[in-house]
């Protein structure tokens, strides 16, 4: 997943759309992996059902906070470390999604600067 160099012309719209789709898929894989880790931890350490594990993992991953169910010390520790990881994972996923558009904008500005 490589961007064009500043001396190269701007990517064609079709190339840009494919790039955005690939980066979106990479972000979705990161989110799915993170949800899977959270669900596993809540189900294994907290003894929660799959639905409750998904609910808790999704709530923490999106920054909404933990839901009910973290009653054991091991589950509380997992929830704390998962929350720390989730903050980074969510920001990384958002960064992955906006990277192609930001690069395209900066590339356009650089090309316009060199035209003068």
Q: Specify the DSSP class assigned to residue 64.
A: S
Q: What is the pTM of this model?
A: 0.81
Contact 45, 72 (CB under 8 A): yes
Q: Specify the DSSP class assigned to residue 65.
A: -
Report, at the CATH architecture level, how domain 24-115 is classified: Orthogonal Bundle (1.10)
Query: Which three-class secondary structure state does DSSP give residue 1?
Result: coil
Q: How many whole angstroms separate alpha carbon 57 and alpha carbon 60?
A: 5
Domain spans of the chain, in order of start: 24-115
pLDDT, tens only, 18-75: 988 999 999 999 999 999 999 999 999 888 899 999 999 999 998 887 777 777 888 8
pLDDT of residue 65: 79
């Amino acid at each position: 997943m490589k961007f064009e160099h500043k001396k190269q012309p701007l990517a064609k719209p079709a190339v840009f759309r494919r790039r955005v789709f690939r980066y979106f898929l990479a972000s979705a894989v990161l989110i799915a992996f993170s949800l899977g880790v959270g669900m596993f931890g809540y189900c294994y350490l907290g003894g929660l059902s799959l639905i409750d594990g998904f609910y808790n993992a999704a709530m923490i991953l999106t920054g909404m906070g933990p839901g009910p169910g973290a009653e054991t010390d091991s589950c509380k520790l997992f929830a704390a470390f998962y929350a720390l990881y989730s903050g980074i994972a969510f920001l990384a996923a958002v960064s992955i999604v906006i990277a192609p558009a930001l690069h395209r904008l900066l590339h356009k500005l650089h090309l316009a600067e060199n035209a003068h």
